[in-house]
Structure formats: C-alpha cells, structure tokens
Amino acid sequence: MSFITRGFTGRGRERDDRLPPGQTLVGDFPVLSAGPTPDIDTADWAFTIRTESGTEHSWNWDEFMALPIEDVTTDIHCVTHWSKLGTGWRGVSLDTLFADVDTELEYTMAHSYGGYTTNVPLDDLLDGKAWVAFEYDGEPLDPEHGGPARLLVPHLYFWKSAKWVRGLEMMADDEPGFWEQNGYHLRGDPWKEERYW
C-alpha cells in the first residue's frame, strides 16, 4: 500500500491539466489595455495584409463578413496568470485570409487601431491556429475586449491576440512588437512559460 495517494487531497484540488504552468482559472474576463479604448465604427473598419512586394490584401467589414465564418471554442491564457477555459468565439480563419497571399517571409507584425503592435510568426497563424474574431460568447465583441475585431491566437499568451486589429505586415525577421520591446517574450508559448526575455 502506498502512503502517497491523491485520495487525501480530494478531486477538487487536482490541478486541471488544461491549465499551463503558473496559470489560475478565472470566471470573469479581465481587461488589459495599454491606452484608451479606440472607438471604431464597422463602416470605417478594414483589415489589410501587406506583403514584401507592397501588395495589399484588404477587406472592409462587409467583405470580411462575407468570408467563411468559423465557430471556435478554445482556452485562453493571459501572461498575467489568468486562464479561461472553453471560451466561445466566431471569426474568420487566418488560413482563409492568407489563401491568396503570396509571400516568402516567415514573420508578421500585427497592427491595431490605437497603435498597438505584436509580432507573430506566420506558422503560428496558419493551419487552423488563429482567427480574426468579431464575436465573443454569442455577442459582438465588446470594444473593451477588442471589438469590432481582434486577433485570436489562443495557443500563445493572450497579448498576442491583438485587440482592435487592423492588419498584418509581413516581416523578414522576428522584430519585437509593443510588449516584446519591453521585456515580454518574442513568442509567448504558455506551455513553456515564455513570459519574458
């Protein structure tokens, strides 16, 4: 007989294996912002992918909403140690947005209304790993959470899921974005605890 048994701690104390190291479950949806919340009318909104040749692939709101839309249920992990499990989103896959994009470059910089930037390798955006999301929990995305649309890259820490996203710029090198210039990790994999430099 073993003296070490999980039975004494009870099932409720077992760590949820969906939680990356150093993370705690939350019920609410904390808001982290580096500045004022931009007020973007969908009539003025556009999403643009710019390649090394200067070619721009751009969608206005109506064109964007006419693209194939996916329902996404995923866990999200913020570098400030909170995680939410099974969150529900609707958005357009980056695979759809990159379908006609011709690029040899391996890195992207996400640009947001309001000036925020974050760098994401192209590999982390493709093959069903990322979306431009416009609904959360069945409702249009609240401006405080990045509406009208935000990047959703749930396998990386949530600062990579740029709020108020307006486009992606292809880059030859993995240049740091806003938080990455100031101590945060270039990639941000929560399972490797890639929080800081």
Contact residues toward other proteins (CB under 8 A) are: 30-37, 78-81, 115, 144, 159, 178-179, 181-184, 195-196
3-class SS of residue 104: coil
Q: Which CB sits closer to other proteins, 114 or 121? A: 114
In 3D space, the residue among 67, 66, 65, 83 whose CA is nearest the CA of residue 75 turns out to be 83
Shortest distance, position 98 Cβ to other proteins, whole Å? 28
Q: Which CB sits closer to other proteins, 187 or 195? A: 195
What value, to the nearest 5°, has the Cα angle with vertex 172 and ends 170 and 178?
65
The residues, any chain, with a CB within 8 Å of residue 124's CB and separated by 6 or more, are: 130, 153, 155, 156, 160, 187
Q: Which CB sits closer to other proteins, 96 or 117? A: 117
170 with 111: CB under 8 angstroms?
A: no
Shortest distance, position 6 Cβ to other proteins, whole Å? 31
Q: Which CB sits closer to other proteins, 60 or 181? A: 181
Q: Which CB sits closer to other proteins, 37 or 96? A: 37
57 with 117: CB under 8 angstroms?
A: no
Shortest distance, position 21 Cβ to other proteins, whole Å? 15
Shortest distance, position 134 Cβ to other proteins, whole Å? 20
Q: Which CB sits closer to other proteins, 87 or 117? A: 117
Q: Which tokens go with 191?
A: 């399972």
Shortest distance, position 71 Cβ to other proteins, whole Å? 28
In 3D space, the residue among 127, 142, 120, 114 whose CA is nearest the CA of residue 49 turns out to be 120
Distance between CA atoms of 73 and 110, rounded to whole angstroms?
22
Shortest distance, position 13 Cβ to other proteins, whole Å? 25
